[in-house]
Amino acid sequence: MKKLLMGAAALAAMSTTPAFATDPGASYTVTGTVNATCYAGSGGTVAFGTIQIDSTTGKLPGSQDASTTTDNLWCNGVNSTLSFHSDGKLSTATPVSDTTNFTNSLDFTPSVSLAGHSATASDTPVALGATYGTLTVKAEDLHSTKIPVAANDYSGTITVTLSPVA
Amino acid sequence: MMKRGFFSFALFVTCAGIMPAQAAPVRQATYAVKGKVVGSCEMPQAAPLTLSTIVSNSGKIDPALSNMSWTLAGWSCNAASRITLSARALRLSPPLTKLMPSQAQAINFTARASGWTSADATVTTAETDPLGTGASYTGTAQVQNAPRKASIVVRVSDFVTAGTKGSSSNNAKPVDGTYSATITVTLAPSS
């Protein structure tokens, strides 16, 4: 009985003990920054191959299109953009001597697209966002405003730009 | 002292939390666009060219035939090119199978094409049998190193009957009839 009373007294003492203040502490916010970036690959070649002009008219054959694709390109910034630069021309390393009757300049229509986002005008960025996918580079409608076209190797460029923006 | 240290740390964390994400430089990749235009030549189909002459009593070939020429317009090559002439001698048509002595039914000549290359392309037929064989003779090709569009002038000269030996006074006499020859101008891209 005496033990029981002592226990009761102990309980009573605990229940009447005033509340202590919480131990001092601090919250730590863990942060990090992932920079916006893009991976554009290393380029490639859009090849029209060998072109035989019409031996009567001197014109290029119709529907001359070429393209190439590069997989696994991406941007992780939600406001990233896609653009390209190209003058849309092919020319030869050596000029033609008879510029009155022959041309060494060909025109094409360039465009690029990445995972469904297409840019169709040079130096005009389009919204891309955070995107991963396949880049398609096209050179279409190869033609010449002047004929006949001189035989030679022709080359031009399309420079693709991925601009990372967070 | 402890209190100031804690405050400083808290301030640092707060600043770090509002720092904007940094953007990496733009990424570029260049795609070469390439094509090769192969050489080709355009040439008109020439109509048959007719020579008409009368052999005099002397049996000699009309000298007016020499240097007769034709201008062929509309030739064009978009690349460096080679021009070659080939020809068959003038020959009686249809040819006879036998001839009298001192007669011939084949007449050799020289054809020359100018206007395409700095040096003319030429060919000389070389029938040796007065009957003729109808063989085709080909001259040396001349090279034009640049694309060219021009007319070609073909000139014929130096007619002499086949089988002639020595001076022209000993020329075999051409038998009467209609003669025909073929001159072929071949223009081909050399690239």
Q: What pLDDT does residue B170 have?
A: 62
The one-letter code for the residue type at A104 is N
Nearest to B28 among A149, A160, A166 (CB): A160
CA-wise closest residue to B173 among B107, B110, B114: B107
With CB atoms and an 8 Å threshold, state whether A164 touches B38: no
Q: Is A22 in the B-facing interface, judged by CB distances under 8 Å?
A: no
Predicted local confidence at residue A59, as pLDDT: 82
Residue B30 class from Cβ within 10 Å (0-12 exposed, 13-18 middle, 19+ buried)? middle
Give the single-character DSSP code of A151: P
Between the CA of residue B31 and those of A122, B85, B188, what are the distances in Å? 14, 46, 34
pLDDT attached to residue B130: 93
> CA B67 to CA B70: how far, in whole Å?
10
- From the number of C-beta atoms within 10 Å of its C-beta (0-12, 13-18, 19+), residue A3 rates as exposed
Using DSSP's 3-state secondary structure scheme, residue B48 falls into coil
C-alpha to C-alpha distance for B24 and A166, rounded to whole angstroms:
10
pLDDT at B61: 74
The three-point CA angle A83-A120-A41 to 5° equals 40
**pLDDT interval class at A8 (50, 70, 90):** very low
State how far the Cα of A68 lies from the Cα of A45, in Å rounded to an integer.
7
If you average pLDDT over residues B52-64, what whole number do you get?
69
Terminal-to-terminal C-alpha distance of chain B: 87
Strand partners, A36: B23
pLDDT tens, position by position, B109-158:
999 999 999 999 999 999 999 999 999 999 999 999 999 999 999 999 88
Residue-range domain boundaries for chain A: 62-166
Contact status of B3 with chain A (Cβ, < 8 Å): no
pLDDT-based confidence at residue B63 (cuts at 50, 70, 90): low
How far apart CA A142 and CA A149 sit, in angstroms, is 12
pLDDT tens digits for B4-53?
444 444 434 444 444 555 667 999 999 999 999 999 998 887 777 777 66
**Banded pLDDT at B191 (limits 50, 70, 90):** low
Q: How many CB pairs under 8 A join A and B?
A: 177
Q: Kindly tell me if the per-residue pLDDT of A64 is higher than 80.
A: yes
Among A29, A56, A90, beta carbon nearest to B33: A90
Query: Average pLDDT in the B162-179 region?
Result: 74
* pLDDT at A12 exceeding the cut of 50: no
- Residue to mutate among B11, B15, B78, with most A CBs inside 10 A, is B78
- Averaged pLDDT for residues A43-59: 89
> CB distance from A78 to chain B under 8 Å?
no
pLDDT at B14: 43
Q: What is the ipTM of this complex?
A: 0.83
| Confidence (pTM) | 0.75
Are B189 and A151 an interchain contact pair (Cβ–Cβ within 8 Å)?
A: yes
Quick one: which of A22, A34, A17, A152 has its CA closest to A90? A152
Mean pLDDT across chain B:
83
Distances B190 to B73, B82, B85, B137, B144 between C-alpha atoms, Å = 21, 6, 16, 21, 9
pLDDT band at A17 (very low <50, low <70, confident <90, very high): low
pLDDT score recorded for residue B135: 97
Q: According to the model, what pLDDT value does residue B13 have?
A: 40
- Measured CA to CA in angstroms, residue A62 lies from A56, A87, B58, B143 at distances of 14, 21, 63, 31
**Which pLDDT belongs to residue B80?**
94
Q: How far apart are CA A53 and CA B24, in angstroms?
A: 46
Query: Tell me, what's the pLDDT at A147?
Result: 79
pLDDT in tens, A20-45: 566 788 999 999 999 999 999 999 99
Greater confidence (A160 vs A2) lies with A160
CA-closest candidate to residue B85, choices B4, B3, B152, B158: B152
Q: Are B80 and B142 in contact (CB under 8 A)?
A: no
Specify whether the CB–CB gap between B160 and B107 falls below 8 A. yes
Nearest alpha carbon to residue B151 among B69, B39, B64: B69
Predicted local distance difference test score (pLDDT) of residue B98? 93
Please report the residues numbered 105 through 144 in chain B whose beta carbons come closer than 8 angstroms to any beta carbon of chain A: none
B91 DSSP β-pair partners: B106, B180
Which of A58, A68, A163 is closest, CB to CB, to B42? Answer: A58
Read off the pLDDT of residues A93-131 as tens digits, 9 standing for 90 and up. Answer: 999 889 999 999 999 999 999 999 999 999 999 999 999
Which residue matches tokens 């991406």? A74
Which tops the pLDDT comparison, B56 or B136? B136
Amino acid (1-letter code) at residue A39: Y
Distances (CA, A) of A130 to A81, A117, B72: 9, 11, 65
Name residue B143's amino acid.
V
